[in-house]
Structure 1
Amino acid sequence: MFLNNTKYNSFLRKVFLLMFLVCFQFSVLAQNQTWKPASFEVLKSNYKTFKTSQYAHVFSGSKHNIVRLATELQGLTGVELPLEQYKKGTNGPIKLKFNESVQVLVGIFQENNSEYLPADKLPNAKLILEKGVTITGLPSVNVYAISFSKGTQIINPGKGLFVILGVVKSSQKLEFRNAEFPDGKLWNPTFIVEGFSDEKPLFEIIGGENKPVIDQGMSGTEEIQGGFEGGRVVKVGDTYHMFPTERAGEKGVEMYYDRVKTKIGHWTSKDAIHWKRESTIYQASGVYAITEDDNPMNDRRSAIWSYMPVFNEKANKWYGYYLAYTVHKEIEPNHSFGRIWRCESTVDGINGIGGPYKDVGIIMEPGLDSQPWEGRQGVASFFPYKVGDKYFGFYSGAFPFASWADYPKKSGKGWFVALAESNSLEGPWKRLNRGLEPIKTIHPQFVENPIVSQLPNGLYIAIFDGGPDGWGHHLPNMIGYTLSKDGINWGEAHYLPIETKVNKWWDIMRTPLCLIPEGNDVYTIVYNAIDLKKRFHPTGMVKVKLNKDVMESRLKELK
């Protein structure tokens, strides 16, 4: 009995769909399989090897590192080539010894420039991965395979930069595909990842929790729709005290409102893992602005963020510094014209950290001494710290104006910090504005929410949000830190790849809340991060260990 046309066509569609799904599954399976490495030896040179993985620094004497790579390449062994010698053509040949027939995987940069080796200089090369690797600050990379027989072989294709990403067995089947990874020039400038660069790491990541320590559904989160972002954790005796920004929002209202109707909560813990919510310190109004400019008709406490508790020994009480925004529903950024408030605990002594707190007044706000780089969002955070007999404070700005002619709506992109100074924690605080520019020695585009402390040798360290790799931004997506010898001049940022020792449950890393010494050179970091699959932004915890030898060498290096 024959099927009628309708039934037959339906049957064929089902067969083709099944075949497509099977082929697709095989394709995905192939992409998820790493290629089998072949062992080799680098002869008569000081070239080092590296593990081909995310964050690997692929050239000696440089900060260029891998931020995207095809799954097939994961875990292979590459050769770290000297960057400048290959760019200038002053390098010598590479001698590699193979114990069997192999295929060497060479990355070729896709830019017609004399600094880069062209693909036609590779003998008998086969293209296997188009756009297969992304390396910070450099053009898109195509990966080629070149066959070599057993024994000592010389690789010397000529002048121009390329990268050796791995060596696989000659029997390894290499299927071509386009991985479609973006151009590495989107990640500019390049950056230093602790443990992957030529420099010895100041901190070793030693472990932590493999899942959030506060997540949706846990006790205390019942009235928080959107999770956490920013704030500070301090330790008093054996108790951790956390003051996060709670993206409270409102039940039944979409997630955009989580960033407006915020609270400052007080949480405590004995181990930085199990947390209990104690109280609400402040709650924002959640009322939107009615004008586009910085106008007193608007509610200037519509959203409250970034609470920083600091103990004032002279006054014998806790001070809190926090940020209050005007919020416009339609103009980016929605958070605008930030003002920094100072409050004081009404309970004296170190144990008065839980408050209640009373407002004293505004210590920094947009005004005649503001600069265009502070932008529509500034003043966007504040953290005070002591240097000698004076106090300095990191304050920030974001969404800068090119000039005041762009006020109030025409803003650009950038998240910057600068310093204010005062003779006391009470103020008045004065912008330093040396050269009328923000501090760009740390990172020229993104530094957010720095928290300052001192290492055992007196070095000042600021730990901060290093910026997302997401939402159209191409930033390190890691917790960052910067060092200073005098508390005023700050060095280049280093970034902590904590997912090398804990399960990466997040997509976008956000703000560290502390760097708390625990003894034996171990420090606790509590941080906020984002899992894009959920509305709620959880909180995590990780432990790092300080290398004192590296700390002393960094002190000598800093001017």
Structure 2
Amino acid sequence: MFSKNIKYNFKLKTAFLVVFSVCFQFSVLAQNQAWKPASFEVVKSNYKTFKTTQYAHVFSGSKHNIVRLSPELQGLQGVELPLNVYKNGTNTALQLKFKEPVQVLIGVFKENNTEYLQADKLQNAKLVLENGVTITGLPPVNVYAISYPKGTQTIHPGKGLFAVLGVAKNNQELAFRNAALPDGNLWNPTYIVEGFSDEKPLFEIIGGENKPVVEEGMPGTEGIQGGFEGGRVVKVGDTYHMFPTERAGEKGVDYYYDRVKTRIGHWTSKDAIHWKRESTIYQASGTYALTEDDNPMNDRRAAIWSYMPVFNEKANKWYGYYLAYTVSKEIEPNHSFGRIWRCESTVEGIDGIGGPYKDMGIIMEPGLDSEPWEGRQGVASFFPYKVGDKYFGFYSGAYPFNSWADYPKKSGKGWFVALAESKSLEGPWSRIKEGNNPIKTMHPFFVENPIVSQLPNGLYIAIFDGGPDGWGHHLPNMIAYSLSKDGKNWQEARYLPIETKVDKWWDIMRTPLCLIPEGNDVYTIVYAGIDLKRRFHPMGMVKVKLNKDVMESRLQELKRE
């Protein structure tokens, strides 16, 4: 009997705990559901409204965008206030017309500064979300609800900048919680997101694959432990040719080795979706260095990355440019002292793209003409392109030295590019040194693996990795592009939020491999991405459409500079 009671009580307690857990989870879920929106109209002003989502452009005259958002606010409609007039207090009062009683959700910046609305000046306001939204380049945001009756109402909670994040129906309980979202000042500098700024976008994202196009377990991925990284895709006739870095690694060896023992693969496709692996172009040794400096005792081809095929019309053959590293086991980054090799296809003509290729020697390497910003990792990538009767080549560096006194161990953070020049694709290549290295007009400290082509009006466009939002960094986490009228001077980057039109299967966006024109102003982008829950890094694909009117206006803008 005693034993039966124990079993009965245990079952009763277990059932109670299960019911309690389900109810608690349901309560939390319900608490974090989106609040019901109320409709409104803006009275006597031309202020735009915005949908409160990730990347929403919150203030006109600015580059501030939402990068983190509490689910309660998702899908509400905010009002895009002019940044400067609200900061300096010269704004006219905002008037909104409501068809029913509402709660207006005001974002108040946690900054003791006269440029910002101070929370202690609010009246009849209820704090509903602490740290409830993150806006790039701005302080943490608390969200307050202020009730207003039906009719035309003046929204003037006090002097200084605040955000109108949405209008919610009054007949719902807005429960308080601390969303614990990060400080927007961590995203500094601010940046321009295509379609979420004051300017019209150059590219419209029109769709693509909602899942990776080359994924673990697909034919051809055997022996690739860690997936893919950068390289290039080109189109010859009706066939796409992809040359990605394959993070091969070894079975039974931890994932860190995937980025050490790499190889360059050659893949083909008729639609940029279904891919077939054709061959291995180069295989790295994966051998760790014997010394910490750039010593010829070390294997300087221990890791191979970033293969860039370029067709040389004069020579009537494909050239390849790729990066070979020394690999250190103890020093960050383990990729060190990059060297750029050039190779040539042994098969002439445009159809010789598959090779085989033979090495023609090193065209750029660390040396007496290197600069400290090239750092421990440089030369870290290379891409050549023709401008007039000569060639420019983007070359990069990373983990910079403040001075040569820091060599070889004491490196900082930063991923930079500069230009080299040559009279031919064969070289010799020389670094352009005009006092403006590295190029910081695109982004002050992160530009990685740029690939250059030309738009129909002659503008040069570089598409590149815009940097991760992760691993301790707060970068745009999007594919980026920059424009140039002369191939030498480059404009501030714009960033493509492709997850607004395709399902986001990645946590960290990595390198775009192409911007291929398909006709009717449509372009194909193949890109590498990372799902942090997995070792294997897949490849994706998206289509974008060029706005020719915006292209022309950008050209005129650059000509005026």
TM superposition score normalised by structure 2: 0.97
Aligned to 1:240: 240
Which residue is 2:312 aligned to?
312
Letter in 2 for 1:170: N
After TM superposition, the structure 1 stretch with the greater mean CA deviation from structure 2, 273-282 or 27-36, is 27-36
- Asked whether the equivalents of residues 40 and 97 of structure 1 are also in contact (C-alpha less than 8 Å), the reply is yes
Which residue identity is paired with 2:77? T
SS of structure 1 residue aligned to 2:473: coil
What is the correspondence of 1:368-387 to structure 2 with a 5 Å cutoff? 368-387=368-387
Which digits, 9 at most, give the CA deviation of each residue in 1:415-455, with x for residues without a partner? 11111111111111111132152111111121100000000
CA–CA distance in 2 between the matches of 1:289 and 1:436?
33
Q: Which residue number corresponds to residue 298 of structure 1?
A: 298
Determine if contact 2:31/2:175 at 8 Å carries over to the other structure.
no
Give, in whole Å, the separation in 2 of the partners of 1:424 and 1:309. 15
2:135 is aligned with 1:139: no
Q: Provide closer, same or farther for how the CA distance between residues 13 and 470 of structure 1 changes in structure 2, counting only shifts above 3 A.
A: farther
SS in 1 for 2:362: strand
Question: How do 1:358-397 residues align onto structure 2 when only pairs under 5 Å count?
Answer: 358-397=358-397
Aligned counterparts of 1:16 and 1:373: Cα–Cα separation in 2: 63
CA distance in 2, matches of 1:5, 1:66: 57
Q: What amino acid is the match of 1:62?
A: S
Alignment of 1:139-538 (within 5 A): 139-435=139-435, 437-538=437-538
SS state at 2:134 partner: strand
Q: CA deviation at 1:111?
A: 1.2
Note the C-alpha offset of 1:17.
4.1
Q: Contact (CA 8 Å) 1:209, 1:502: kept in 2 or not? A: yes
Structure 1 stretch displaced more, 257-266 or 24-33: 24-33
1:103: how far off?
Answer: 0.1
- Letter of the 1:452 counterpart: V
Q: Distance in 1 between matches of 2:12 and 2:434?
A: 73
Take 2:412 and 2:77, find their aligned partners in 1: how far apart are those partners? 41
Separation in structure 2 between the aligned mates of residue 233 and residue 456 of structure 1, nearest angstrom: 20
Q: Is the 8 A contact 2:376 2:401 kept in 1?
A: yes
Aligned amino acid, residue 262 of structure 1 = T
Residue type at the aligned position of 1:146? I
Corresponding residue for residue 40 of structure 1: 40
Structure 2 CA distance for aligned equivalents of residues 230 and 98 of structure 1:
51
User: 2:18 is matched with which residue?
Assistant: 18
**Structure 1 counterpart of 2:390, one-letter code:** K
Aligned equivalents of 2:275 and 2:194: distance in 1? 29
Displacement of 1:11 after TM fit?
6.2
From the superposition, tell whether residues 90 and 296 of structure 1 become closer, same or farther in structure 2 (CA, over 3 Å). same
Percent identical across equivalent pairs?
84
Contact 1:347 1:355 in 2 (8 A): yes
SS of equivalent to 2:50 = strand
Counterpart of 1:398, as a letter, is: A
- Measured at CA, do residues 10 and 154 of structure 1 come closer, stay the same or move farther in structure 2, by a change above 3 Å? same
Unmatched tracts of structure 1, length 5 or more: none
Give CA-to-partner distance per residue, 1:112-133, whole Å, 9 cap, x none.
1111111122211101111110
Aligned partners of 1:31 and 1:71 also within 8 Å:
no
Partners of 1:27 and 1:342 in 2: how far apart?
61
2:126, 2:146 within 8 Å by CA — same for their partners in 1?
yes
Q: Confirm or deny: 8 A CA contact 2:187 2:474 kept in the other structure.
A: yes
Contact 1:40 1:99 (C-alpha < 8 Å) held by counterparts: yes
- Bigger mean CA deviation after superposition, 19-28 or 435-444: 19-28
Alpha-carbon offset, residue 406 of structure 1:
0.8
1:90 maps onto 2:90 in alignment = yes
Matched residue type, 2:209: E
Structure 1: distance between partners of 2:308 and 2:475: 25
Instruction: Please state whether the residue corresponding to 1:244 is helix, strand or coil.
Output: strand
Distance 2:293 2:175 in 1: 57
Q: Which secondary structure state, in structure 1, belongs to the residue aligned with residue 474 of structure 2?
A: coil
For these two proteins, the number of residue pairs brought into alignment is 559
Q: What's the CA shift string for 1:32-71, capped at 9, x where partnerless?
A: 5211100001100111100100001100010000000001
The amino acid that maps onto 2:294 is: D
SS of corresponding position for 1:362: strand
Code of the residue aligned with 1:253 in structure 2: it is: V
Structure 1 residues 13 and 293: alpha-carbon distance in aligned structure 2, compared to 1, 3 A threshold: farther
Question: How far apart are residue 20 of structure 1 and its match?
Answer: 5.0
Alpha-carbon distance between aligned partners in 1 of 2:186 and 2:504, rounded to the nearest angstrom: 23
Quick one: distance in 1 between partners of 2:553 and 2:325?
42
Which residue type is aligned with residue 254 of structure 2?
E
Deviation at 1:198, TM superposition (A): 0.9
Distance 1:324 1:283 in 2: 11
Aligned in 2, Cα 1:10/1:81: closer, same or farther, shift over 3 Å?
same
* 1:346 positional shift: 0.5
- CA separation of 1:295 and 1:13: change in aligned 2, threshold 3 A: farther
Give the letter for the 2:346 counterpart: T
Q: CA deviation at 1:4?
A: 9.9
Moved more, 21-30 or 431-440: 21-30
**Which amino acid is the alignment partner of residue 234 of structure 1?**
V
Cα deviation, residue 408, structure 1 = 0.5
Letter of the aligned partner of 2:232 in structure 1? R
1:81 is the counterpart of 2:76: no
Separation (CA, whole Å) in 1 of partners of 2:312 and 2:491:
28
Q: Give the secondary-structure state (helix, strand or coil) at the position aligned to 1:511.
A: strand
Instruction: Give, in whole Å, the separation in 1 of the partners of 2:305 and 2:216.
Output: 20
* 1:54 partner SS: coil
Partner of 1:434, secondary structure, is coil
Query: CA 1:7–1:372 in structure 2 vs 1: closer, same or farther (change >3 Å)?
Result: farther
Secondary structure at 1:405's aligned position in 2?
A: helix
Amino acid at match of 1:395: Y
C-alpha distance in structure 2 between counterparts of 1:329 and 1:9, whole Å: 58
Q: Secondary structure, in 3 states, of the residue corresponding to 1:421? A: strand
> Per the alignment, in what secondary structure is the counterpart of residue 361 of structure 1?
strand
1:197 aligned partner, one-letter code? S
The CA distance in 2 between the partners of 1:19 and 1:40, in whole Å, is 41
Q: CA deviation at 1:22?
A: 2.1
What SS does the aligned partner of 1:331 have?
coil
AA matched with 2:42: V
Offset of residue 254 of structure 1? 1.1
Does structure 2 retain, via aligned residues, the 8 Å contact 1:386–1:392? Answer: yes
What residue identity is the alignment partner of 1:482? S
Residues 1:483 and 1:44: Cα distance change in structure 2 (over 3 Å): same
Counterpart code for 1:207: G
Residues 31 and 510 (structure 1), Cα distance of their counterparts in 2 relative to 1, 3 Å cut: farther
Between 190-199 and 449-458, report the one with greater CA deviation: 190-199
Q: What residue is the counterpart of 1:129 in the other structure? A: 129
